[in-house]
Amino acid sequence: MATDLTIEPFCLGAWQTNCYVVHAGRDCWVIDAGFDPGPMLDYLSQHGLTPSKVVLTHAHVDHIAGLSDVRVAYPDVPILIHEDERGWLGDPTLNLSIALAEPLTAPPATGVMRHGDELQLSGLAFEVRHTPGHSPGGVTLYQPDHHVALVGDALFAGSVGRVDFPTSDPATLIRSIQEQLYTLPDDTRVLPGHMEETTIGREKATNPYVRA
Ligand SMILES: [Zn+2]
Ligand SMILES: [Zn+2]
């Protein structure tokens, strides 16, 4: 029997970014930190949880805007991002905040992830799958015992991530979904960066943008 895993979603800020607190035993991670992360920080303190990592699915502003607040609450927490977006946190053009009233720079990453890395949470292994296309360093975190994948903005219920940004690539996104996500078991829960959760099987059968 695998260790219990709790994944608490928080839909944060005006961009309605799904961020997650993932915990197993006493260990927990923050997955993305959107605008106005107060509800997520309240949850952590109410449950006596101290995150051992912030893991970023990618570095778009709506997934990193709350990083400064997380760092105020947890000054030493490591921040991981895929190596292809390592410099993006401090670059408003790349993180897409340049057009906002206040271009945003977030605290820098302290470590990088690569495809095939394994991150351990209380003995549960999360596989890092590189799923670029929406952005070049997009990652999915897949936990096979609990049949769950945190996919960032690669795949949504009935949709896919935007590919109209200068750093996006539509063909790459389709390949990522087909090769890295549609190859997961059909009953895998898909926890996306926006909108409601879905499953791999449902998207393979019905997603209008990417066929299995
Ligand atoms: Zn994005
Ligand atoms: Zn997003």
Contact between 93 and 85 under an 8 Å Cβ cutoff? The reply is no
CA nearest 61: which of 21, 103, 30, 31? 103
Cβ-proximal residues to 197 (8 Å cutoff; 6+ apart), any chain: 9, 157, 189, 190, 191
211 domain residue, yes or no:
no
Inside any domain, residue 85: yes
What is the CA(160)–ligand 1 centre distance, in A?
Answer: 11
CATH number at 118 reads 3.60.15.10
How much is the pLDDT for 140?
98
The burial class, CB within 10 Å (0-12 / 13-18 / 19+), for 185 is exposed
Domain count, the chain: 1
Q: Is residue 170 part of a domain?
A: yes
Residue 81 located in a structural domain: yes
Expressed in angstroms and rounded, the spacing between residue 202 Cα and the centre of ligand 1 is 22
In percent, how much of the chain has pLDDT > 70? 100
Residue 179 pLDDT grade (very low, low, confident, very high; cuts 50, 70, 90): very high
Q: What residues contact residue 8 under an 8 Å CB cut-off, 6+ apart?
A: 20, 21, 22, 23, 43
pLDDT band at residue 169 under the 50/70/90 scheme: very high
Does the residue 87 lie in any domain?
Answer: yes
Query: Do 41 and 50 meet the contact criterion of CB atoms below 8 Å apart?
Result: no
145 CA → ligand 2 middle, Å: 26
pLDDT at 211: 87
pLDDT at 1 over 70: no
In terms of residue numbers, what domain contains 16? 6-206
Rg value, the chain, Cα: 16
Predicted local distance difference test score (pLDDT) of residue 182:
98
DSSP H stretches of helix in 88-193? 170-176
Measured in Å, residue 31 CA sits from the centre of ligand 1 at: 13
Q: Assess if residue 121 is contained within a domain.
A: yes
* Cα-to-centroid distance, 180 and ligand 1 (Å): 18
Residue range 65-87: mean pLDDT, rounded: 98
Q: Please provide the average confidence, as pLDDT, over all residues in the chain.
A: 97
Q: What pLDDT does residue 97 have?
A: 96
Q: What is the pLDDT of residues 123-146, one digit of tens each?
A: 999 999 999 999 999 999 999 999
Q: How far is the CA of 40 from the centre of ligand 2 (A)?
A: 17
Measured in angstroms, how far is the CA atom of residue 134 from the centroid of ligand 1? Answer: 7
Residue 1 domain flag: no
Cα pseudo-dihedral 164, 132, 188, 15, rounded to 10: -40
Give DSSP secondary structure letters for 18-56. EEEEEEETTEEEEE---SS-HHHHHHHHHTT--EEEEE-
| Beta-carbon-side half-sphere exposure of residue 93 (alpha carbons within 13 Å) | 2
Name which of 8, 54, 13, 9 is nearest 31 in CA terms: 54
Please name which of 24, 96, 21 lies closest in space to residue 65, comparing C-alpha atoms.
96
- Strands 27-31, 51-55: pairing kind: parallel
Q: How far is the CA of 135 from the centre of ligand 1 (A)?
A: 7
If you measure from the C-alpha of residue 25 to the centroid of ligand 1, how many angstroms do you get, rounded to a whole number? 30
In this structure, is residue 152 part of a structural domain? yes
Decide: pTM greater than 0.85: yes
